[in-house]
Amino acid sequence: MRSPVFGTHLVEPLLASVGGALALGLGLEQAARGLSRLRRTGLRGDVYRLREDITVYDDTYNASPAAVAAVLRYGADQASRQGRRLVVVLGGMFELGACARAYHREAGELAGEVGVDLLVCVGDEARWYAETFPRKVLYYEDAEQAADALQDQLQSGDYLIVKGSRGIGLDALTRKLRESLALV
């Protein structure tokens, strides 16, 4: 059974869909065929390469504490397996209520634990990631500023994760990187 999505954190939803299909009376082969036709929407786990062998995991569609944690773990695993420096751009997570700061701080701590080498924070809420992240942090108010500065920070062979709530507009950052660092 093959799937067009990247990341071990996406296995559980796929297994749940197979379970649902089986519960509705479909056979395992039918469920597998259905999964093979699954198409991702943009900005959700897109993996691509930029110039100088920079790998990008673009998950800029939205963010929640669980999704950020899953992507950090997945990216750390991939960077480690490939012997790459891990650079992470995190935009703020929205609509978290009174626990917003705590959730951001937890994600910043996790980024340190999994081995993020450089953390780039974008947006007001993203400042809270830096409160618990133990290594180098860069902060930018918006995605355009971050995109301009990030080009100077990236090194050949980096593994770059970009994740944040849709309202931060990190898709503008990835679009700018794709344009300026496109494979020639």
Residue 38 confidence (pLDDT): 67
Give the domains, in start order, of the chain with CATH numbers.
1-39 (no CATH), 46-180 (3.90.190.20)
pLDDT (0 to 100) of residue 15? 75
pLDDT-based confidence at residue 8 (cuts at 50, 70, 90): low
Residues of the chain above pLDDT 70, percent: 86
Q: By mean pLDDT, which of 31-40, 65-74, 155-164 is the weakest?
A: 31-40
**Three-class secondary structure of residue 40 per DSSP:** coil
Percent of the chain with pLDDT over 90: 65
- The sign of the torsion formed by the CA atoms of 176, 167, 113, 40 equals negative
Q: What is the pTM of this model?
A: 0.82
Residue 44 — pLDDT band, cuts 50, 70, 90? low
Q: Tokens in use for 178?
A: 């794709």
Residue 37 pLDDT exceeds 80:
no
- The whole-number pLDDT of residue 50 equals 92
The strand pair at 159-163 and 54-59 is best described as: parallel
Span 104-147, pLDDT tens digits: 999 999 999 999 999 999 999 999 999 999 999 999 999 999 99
Give the highest mean pLDDT range of 23-27, 49-53, 61-65, 107-111. Answer: 107-111
Closest CA to 72 of 43, 107, 46: 107
Is the confidence at residue 184, as pLDDT, over 70?
no
Query: What does the pLDDT read at residue 34?
Result: 76
Pairwise CA distance, residues 119 & 86, whole Å: 9
Q: What are phi and psi of 75, to 5 degrees?
A: -65, -40
